[in-house]
Copies of this chain bind each other. A is one copy, B any other.
Amino acid sequence: MGARGAATRDKLVESSLAMFREDGFEATTMRRIADAAGVSLGNAYYYFASKDDLVHELYLVVQREHRALAIPRLRQGAPLAENLALVLHTGLDVMTPYHRFGGAFVQVALPASSRASPFSLESAQARGLAIDLMRQAADASRPRPASALRERMPMLLWLAYLGITLHWVVDSSPDQARTRRLVDGVAPIVGRAVRLSRLPVARGLVDDVVGLLAPASASTPTAAATPAGASR
């Protein structure tokens, strides 16, 4: 893509994200996106086959912003509870402008066959960025989890993050305050569970959790965790 093509593409992404934030997903059409970007509809379709393709751009933008906000603030040697709370709260910060859009988005992303699913092949780049952020948070934190669990930690933290995100999407409390409190409650629990995982008494539990995630590599979704992704 030449410089002019890249600029056109950027304009389309920018105008679609602004429109998603302000008008929501349903009201945003390819025609309106093209108009706002000053691009013909045919030209817009040359860059993005559908609105769904722009959702992947949204993923990427959100992940990049999330990393830019969270990584510099991770504290080396801090308890996982602290670094995890930071990562989850900054994740919510980045998603907040899109909250209106969240409900419609989950409806688009939930079906097994959806390319917008966080488990889909098409979401691999954004998912990789998100899981790598979790890896950085886990690696920065002390104490470390049981060695058997270490490789799975980024995936486990990412699944926890997806759960928090789902809670946030349906959270009707002002400023999604309830999800903020959930983060403050969940982060210490994860921290304690990780400390507990180091004790011999937790060996069986650790083995079971690792076994559940066994088909996965640390950077791809697991069979157990990804009904949507694995069968295609």
Q: A interface vs B, CB < 8 Å?
A: 103, 106-107, 110-113, 117, 163, 167-173, 176, 178-179, 181-182, 185-186, 188-189, 192-193, 196, 199, 201-202, 204-205, 208-209, 211-212, 223-224, 227-228, 230-232
Give A207 Cβ to nearest chain B Cβ, in Å. 9
| 27 pairs, CB–CB < 8 Å, chain A vs chain B | A103-B111, A107-B107, A112-B170, A113-B172, A117-B170, A167-B227, A170-B228, A171-B227, A172-B228, A172-B232, A173-B230, A173-B231, A176-B227, A178-B224, A178-B227, A181-B224, A182-B212, A185-B212, A189-B208, A189-B209, A189-B212, A192-B204, A192-B205, A196-B196, A196-B205, A199-B201, A201-B201
Q: Are B112 and A172 in contact (CB under 8 A)?
A: yes
Residue of B nearest to A188 (CB): B208
Given contacts A110-B170, A182-B212, A196-B202, 6 further A-B pairs with CB under 8 A are: A172-B232, A178-B223, A178-B227, A178-B230, A185-B212, A189-B212
Chain B residues in 8 Å Cβ range of A106: 110
A232 CA to B181 CA, complexed, in Å:
18
A209 CA to B186 CA, complexed, in Å:
8
Residue of B nearest to A185 (CB): B212
Cβ-defined partner of A227 (8 Å) among B111, B170, B186, B228: B170
Give A204 Cβ to nearest chain B Cβ, in Å. 5
Q: Are B107 and A227 in contact (CB under 8 A)?
A: no
Chain B residues in 8 Å Cβ range of A110: 103, 106-107, 110, 169-170
Chain B residues in 8 Å Cβ range of A208: 185, 188-189, 192
Chain B residues in 8 Å Cβ range of A182: 212, 224
Give A88 Cβ to nearest chain B Cβ, in Å. 14
Chain B residues in 8 Å Cβ range of A212: 182, 185-186, 189
Q: Are B201 and A189 in contact (CB under 8 A)?
A: no
Chain B residues in 8 Å Cβ range of A201: 196, 199, 201
Chain B residues in 8 Å Cβ range of A227: 167-168, 170-173, 176, 178-179
Q: A204-B192, A208-B192 are in contact. Are A172 and B231 (CB under 8 A)?
A: yes
